[in-house]
Amino acid sequence: MVRASIKMMISSRKRDEMLEILSSIEERARFEPGCISCRLYQGAEVKNLIMLEEFWRDEEALERHLQSEGYRKVLQVVEMAVEPPEIRFDAISQSTGFETIEKARRQEGPPKMGKGVDSRLLS
């Protein structure tokens, strides 16, 4: 699995236009072969900070996406960023879930968590 992310500061003047372009890319990317997830985030405190995050089944699916017409539009938005963007491609070789919490909780001493915690984690 590959995680692709672009974090950038955008101009408040062009914010609506840029978000519209990225939102349409987000919708289309979800239907591309090999796309696991595609999300567009906006900063809670800094409204002009946005992040496009995608998860792809493998490098081949990501490469097809990077060569697509839709991704060309992403690059156009990147060129309009007011600061150099942070672009990352992270290969994920392993992914676990609840079992990691259970394993860690079995290895530690007495529980230190408060109310509202699943009782399976406290034993």
Q: Could you tell me if 53 and 85 are in contact, meaning their C-beta atoms sit under 8 angstroms apart?
A: no
Contacts of 48 (CB under 8 A, 6+ apart): 9, 10, 11, 12, 15, 82
Q: In Å, how far from its chain's centre is CA 47?
A: 17
pTM score of the predicted model = 0.78
pLDDT at position 109 over 70: no
Contacts of 16 (CB under 8 A, 6+ apart): none
Q: What's the pLDDT at 107?
A: 80
The pLDDT tens digits for 24-66 are 999 999 999 999 999 999 998 998 999 999 999 999 999 999 9
User: Could you tell me which CATH class the domain 2-91 is placed in?
Assistant: alpha beta
